[in-house]
Each structure stands twice: as structure tokens, then as C-alpha cells.
Chains A and B, each alone.
Chain A
Amino acid sequence: MSVFSQRAYPDDVVEHLEAHGLDPLFARLYAARGIQDHSELNLEAKQLLPPASLKECETAARILADAIASKRPLVIVADYDCDGATACAVGMRGLRMLGASEEQFGYLVPNRFTMGYGLTPEVVDMALELNPRPSLLITVDNGIASHQGIDYAKTHGIDVLVTDHHLPSDQLPNALAIVNPNQPGCGFASKALAGVGVMFYVLIALRTLLRERGVFTNATQPKLEQLFSLVALGTVADVAQLDRNNRILVSHGLRKIRQGQAPAGLLALFEVAARDPRTASPFDLGFAIGPRLNAAGRLADMSLGIQLLLCDDETRAMSLAQELDRINRERRVIESGMQESALASLANLSMNEQAALCLWHPDWHQGVVGIVASRLKERFNRPTIVFAPADDESGTPLLRGSGRSIQGFHLRDALDLVSKKYLGLILKFGGHAMAAGLTIRQSDFDDFEHYFCEISASLLDDEILQRRCIHDGSLGPDQFTVEVAGDKVFRNRFSMVNSRCFSNHS
């Protein structure tokens, strides 16, 4: 049961928007989402925040321009989720368009089972074996927490350029340059930019620089706008907040997909998911396309997903998409098995006494813990961390966990508190307010559960624990239309006052 409350909106803004010809319903929706002036509804690409305001974006562009000019071997280090895969594909396609030669660059994606998250020394070792051996690594959607890997790369003469959007810890890694809207001193107005968006911004800045250097003119420059579809997919699948800048990115991407101007692999995913690209919506990206792409990183290897996004051959794209669809079905089976055993183990718990949930089982699958955490969080409305056994090189059995939080509880900050109060308990952690990942020793699980619940209890109160649903009011009988449903950028949530449910069956 949720407490319902309607999203507030200033009446004068609604009046202003209506005066500019907006339908009263949409005027109310936009006003409730903080739009103050009708000009903000202009989602033209030229309204995007300037790359120059993203700290070190121009430095990164200079590094890449020099690298392309001197044919310096470079490798993109991806992450195994949808944001990381799209960021990698955007980086690969974009650098190729901007003049990087095929022999000069490639990508690597860490295997979550053997290497874990981010640019670890193991991933650097993998890069060292490549031919040609890279002298520059570019992290996408990761790197801000990879202090060790970056230092290790340095000792082997490899520079690292970090592009990321995750929250940094107290100390930044020692990289050649860091582009991250969430780093201290970055004045970029959209902190919600996804990993794929950060990479896209670096490419835009790189194109500007190459124009200044006379490599292209306005007329001959490569059309990076072709990459909008991938930027939209990564942004929506990562559940990035749709602030104005992200709305511009997503609305352009959806427009491209609807026109069929998207990589063959993306269109093939629409087909295997039985969705129509001509009516592509954020919902399709978040619930049909994203999960299929993510399935590769969860159960197998995300390089399958990246291959799909890089593929321009329709036949091969279709066979890769079918493979991802098959893996996704397998993921569903694993997930429901884990969920059942999780629910069984929770059956005797009283939720009133439980500030947070921590679970693990020797049979659970590392790639699926995040989804299970997310489902349990939905069900019990408690911050939830689900762990699975992880490979250990050192001989110490480890657990890798993925956590999901509830509104009002900052999960990464909570883990930070635990890690500072109980030194050595958490081996590695990172993430956001609503989601985080961590590694602990198997033998420390009980301690971790105890201390995490203790810290959670001190941070949570009844106000936060109350399940809430913020909605946009009700629709009149004539407002259940395709136009209202088709609002492609905001995912509106209405409430239906006193609806009658006259047939329901499961």
C-alpha cells in the first residue's frame, strides 16, 4: 500500500505555458517537473549544454586529437552494463568517424566474474597483451574508482583517460584527465548525464577541436548525431534522471530510431523483442531493449552486446540479437529461482524490525543479484543488498553484492559510513544514491549484515520507510489517448481516481 500524493506545480507557470498554446494537461505535467518557461520545451540539439562547461572535456579532446594524429594505440575500457556497452559503442563508432584508424584502437570489456568492476590491474594486464600494445586507455562509464588499476597502468607506461559519471570517493585517481560531471569543481549543469552521455560529449568536443585544427569544416565534419540512438538507449537503460539535457539527448535518439536511423543491432533488438521502432519510446528502451542487452553482461560476456551495437550487417545483427534474446530468457529463469529462494529465506522475518535486507546463497548468480535486489526492494521497501559468491584469486572466499535503495536513503553514502566506521570490512564499493556494488569476505557476511542494518536503522525513519507514490493527478475520460500515452520523453505517472477494476486475473 502506498501513500499517494500529487506532484505539485506552480499555477502561474501552468498559465504561462497555456498562454503559449500548450494543452492544459501537458502544461500541468511540464510545470510539475520544474519547467519554468516555454522556451525550455525546445529540445533542439543546439540547446544542449556546451561541452566546454564539462570539466576537462576539452583536455580529453586534445589528448584524443593528438592520439589520432600520432596514431597512438588506444583502447576503450568498457563496463558490462547497458550504459557501459553503449558508451563503448559510441566511443568506437565516434573515434572511427573522427579519423582513428582501425589498427590503432580497440576495446576491452572486463568479465564481471573473473575481473570485477572497473579498470582493475587484471584488466590492465589484459590490455598489455594486445597487439599493438596500447599506450592510452579510455575508460567509459567506469574509472573514477579505479585508483589501483590506473596506478598499475602508469607503471607500465600506459596513460589513462577517465570518462565516467559515478560519484567519486574522497580522492580522485591519478589519471591523465578525468571527465565526470560529478567530480569536484565540475560546473556542468546536468549531473544526471549517463556514462554514454559523457563519452558523447568528449566526441563533440573532439570534433570541434578537429574543426579548429582544420581537419574538417562545418560542411565536411562527421555526423556524430547518428550516435544519438545509442546515447538515448544508455541514458534510459541506466535510469538516469531525465533533466532537460538528457531529455534533449533522449528525444533526438528516439527520433532517429523511429526514422530507422540506428545501428542494425539496435533495430534487430527491437525485432526480437517484438517492439516497433517506428513508435520507439523510453519504455521500449528501458524494458525491452535494455534488459536484452544487459543479459549478455549478466550471464555471459558483454562483448557480445558491444559487437551487436558495432555491427552494421543486418544478418549478423539478427543472429547476435537472437542470441541475446536467448540469454535474456535464461536470465529470467535464473532470476525467478533466486527470487523464490530469497523470499523463502525472508518468510520468517518481521519487516518492522528490519531496517535493511542483506542476503546471500552459495548457488546465487553474480550477474543477476542486482535485479533480484531491485525486485526485493520493490516488494519490501527496504534498502536491499543481494550477494553471490565471487571468484577469488587470493584464496579467500569473497562475496560480490549489488544493492538497491529507496527514495531518501543514499546507499553509496551508507556504505561509505560502514567502510569508515569498520575499517577493512568492505573490500571495494562504489555507486550512486539508489544503486551500489560492493565486495566483502564471505566470512564477514554476518558482521556486514549487522553493521549495515545498524547504520541503515540510524539513517532511516518512518517518513522514508513509508511507501510513496508521486503522481500527476487524474485523467479525464477523453484523455486516455495515444497522444497522452505517446509523450515520449517524460514517463508520466497518472493516478486514476477511484478506478473500477471489474475483471482481474493473473
Chain B
Amino acid sequence: MKDKHLRLQLRPLLKNENLAPVLAGVWFNRTQTLPQNTFLAFRLVSDRFREEARIQLIIEAANDSLP
């Protein structure tokens, strides 16, 4: 995104993949891409786009070594 922000499409990893929603995410002021499986910290925000409420994940931190 203008070489400045990272746009992401994300899905929580669940045992049953069919239950996992596809989510839109953005990491501001970061361009370095992420590995496929990552532990992310995010804020959930909603906004209105063409009168439709939608949600987005604003990513703030990553950790690929899982606890």
C-alpha cells in the first residue's frame, strides 16, 4: 500500500479450518512481509464503508515463536 503499510488477509488457525473467518488486517508503517504462521497482536476496529459496518485488525506486534 503506497510502499508504506502492510495489507494482510488473515485467518485464525483453528482445528476446524471451516470455522475460521477470513479477516482484513493492516500493519501501519511496516513493509516487511510476515511468515505464513505468525502470532500477532492487534486491535480490532470497525468502520463504515459504503454504509456497511466492517471490521479490521490493526496489527501492532508479531512473534513467530509460539508459547
Q: Which positions in A face B, CB cutoff 8 Å? A: 1-4, 275-276, 278-279, 281, 283, 336, 375, 378, 467, 469, 471, 474-475, 477, 480-482, 484-486, 491-506
Task: Report yes or no: B47 in contact with A279, Cβ–Cβ below 8 A.
Answer: yes
> Looking at the complex, which one of A276, A279, A495, A505 makes contact with B42 (CB distance below 8 Å)?
A495
A-B contact pairs, 9 of them (CB 8 A): A4-B67, A283-B58, A481-B55, A497-B13, A498-B12, A498-B38, A500-B20, A501-B37, A501-B40
Residues of B near A501 (CB, < 8 A) are: 8-10, 25, 34-38, 40
Extra 10 A-B pairs, beta carbons < 8 Å, given A469-B63, A504-B8: A283-B43, A480-B55, A482-B46, A484-B44, A492-B44, A496-B10, A498-B12, A504-B9, A505-B6, A506-B31
CA distance A384 to B65 in the complex (A): 28
CA distance A435 to B5 in the complex (A): 25
How close is A329's CB to chain B, nearest CB, in angstroms?
Answer: 12
CA distance A1 to B34 in the complex (A): 11
Task: Report yes or no: B46 in contact with A485, Cβ–Cβ below 8 A.
Answer: yes
CA distance A480 to B53 in the complex (A): 12
Given A475-B44, A480-B23, A506-B5, are A1 and B12 neighbors across the interface (CB < 8 Å)?
Answer: no
CA distance A481 to B44 in the complex (A): 9
**Which bracket fits the contact residues of B?**
35 or more
Main secondary structure of the interface of B (DSSP, over half): strand
How close is A143's CB to chain B, nearest CB, in angstroms?
Answer: 34
> Looking at the complex, which one of A481, A493, A496 makes contact with B39 (CB distance below 8 Å)?
A496
Residues of A near B58 (CB, < 8 A) are: 283
CA distance A68 to B43 in the complex (A): 46
Task: Report yes or no: B41 in contact with A471, Cβ–Cβ below 8 A.
Answer: yes
Interface centre among A3, A281, A485 (most CB of B within 10 A): A485
CA distance A310 to B44 in the complex (A): 33
Task: Report yes or no: B9 in contact with A494, Cβ–Cβ below 8 A.
Answer: no
Given A480-B23, A493-B60, A506-B33, are A498 and B46 neighbors across the interface (CB < 8 Å)?
Answer: no
Interface centre among B5, B7, B58, B61 (most CB of A within 10 A): B61
Task: Report yes or no: B40 in contact with A496, Cβ–Cβ below 8 A.
Answer: yes
CA distance A260 to B8 in the complex (A): 33
Task: Report yes or no: B43 in contact with A499, Cβ–Cβ below 8 A.
Answer: no
Residues of A near B13 (CB, < 8 A) are: 497-500
Task: Report yes or no: A283 in contact with B37, Cβ–Cβ below 8 A.
Answer: no
CA distance A492 to B55 in the complex (A): 14
How close is A484's CB to chain B, nearest CB, in angstroms?
Answer: 6
> Looking at the complex, which one of B30, B43, B53 makes contact with A482 (CB distance below 8 Å)?
B53
Given A501-B34, A505-B7, are A480 and B21 neighbors across the interface (CB < 8 Å)?
Answer: yes
Q: Give B1-34 interface residues, CB cut-off 8 Å to A.
A: 1, 3-14, 19-21, 23, 25, 29-34
Residues of B near A497 (CB, < 8 A) are: 12-13, 39, 66
CA distance A485 to B43 in the complex (A): 8
Task: Report yes or no: A477 in contact with B39, Cβ–Cβ below 8 A.
Answer: no
> Looking at the complex, which one of A279, A498, A504 makes contact with B33 (CB distance below 8 Å)?
A504
Task: Report yes or no: A502 in contact with B11, Cβ–Cβ below 8 A.
Answer: yes
CA distance A506 to B29 in the complex (A): 10
Task: Report yes or no: A469 in contact with B46, Cβ–Cβ below 8 A.
Answer: no
Interface centre among B32, B38, B46, B65 (most CB of A within 10 A): B46
Task: Report yes or no: B7 in contact with A504, Cβ–Cβ below 8 A.
Answer: yes
CA distance A492 to B47 in the complex (A): 16
Task: Report yes or no: A498 in contact with B44, Cβ–Cβ below 8 A.
Answer: no
Given A477-B19, A506-B31, are A493 and B47 neighbors across the interface (CB < 8 Å)?
Answer: no
Task: Report yes or no: A477 in contact with B44, Cβ–Cβ below 8 A.
Answer: no
How close is A466's CB to chain B, nearest CB, in angstroms?
Answer: 12
CA distance A485 to B58 in the complex (A): 11
How close is B37's CB to chain A, nearest CB, in angstroms?
Answer: 6
Question: Which residue of chain A is the closest to B34 with respect to CB atoms?
Answer: A501
